[in-house]
Structure 1
Amino acid sequence: MVGLTAVLAVLFVLANLPFMSLRFLGVVALASPKSGRLMALEVVLCLALAMACLLFVERLVEGVSYGQGWEFQVVLLCLFVVAGFPGFVCRFFWKESV
């Protein structure tokens, strides 16, 4: 149960990282604000990192990694979109009251 909670926490952090940080992947400082294309690239890279993390944890827990069909990728993508929604809302829709 702890492993599942840790994986979901990592997924949540990776899904919100592009929207919460002004740096590329939370590490590289940029000279100008992030463009939409750069943010989309960052989302795709974080999704790939989350998928690699999930496959690593599966191999660690089960001892073997099972073949992942298109269903695995679709479920992970949907979970990633839902987990990243709070960061997206905070970045683009939340307005500070004056």
Structure 2
Amino acid sequence: MSGNAGVYILLALAFVAANLPFLFERILFVRRPAGGAKNFAWRLFELLLLYLLVGGLAHMLETRSHGGAYPQNWEFYATTLSLFVVFAYPGFIYRYLWHGNRRRTAAVQG
């Protein structure tokens, strides 16, 4: 596998991981919340946790491929966190704007 293919696979993995908190109702993908629906704070916590997980995987892959990781400053982490939040946008739209409107419309009609 070439270096470019690895980058694209890592970006695809980050895109999928960023959308997972908005697609599942279980807290940390294990426990169902007591109120029946997971609130937004849990989703943000899971988003941050998955960002750290994907970042750790990327760091491990860079260390293995180059023999060491290039040191990064805070700008790198601010940029990658922003990119991860942008990747989560489709899941946010599905959960709160598109999927939520269908529930409200069904409740009004029914």
TM category (shorter chain) comes to 0.7 to 0.9
Give, in whole Å, the separation in 2 of the partners of 1:12 and 1:70: 22
Partner of 1:16: 19
Long gaps (5+) in structure 2: none
SS in 2 for 1:93: helix
Long gaps (5+) in structure 1: none
Question: What is the aligned residue count?
Answer: 97
Partner of 1:29: 31
Give the share of equivalent positions with the same residue, in percent: 35
- Normalized against structure 2, the TM-score is what? 0.78
SS in 1 for 2:32: coil
Give, in whole Å, the separation in 2 of the partners of 1:23 and 1:2: 32
Deviation at 1:70, TM superposition (A): 0.7
| Corresponding residue to 2:75 among 71, 83, 92 | 71
CA RMSD of aligned residues (A): 1.6
Give, in whole Å, the separation in 1 of the partners of 2:19 and 2:95: 10
Partner of 2:44: 40
Structure with the higher helix share, 1 or 2: 2
The runs of 4+ residues in structure 1 deviating greater than 6 Å are: none
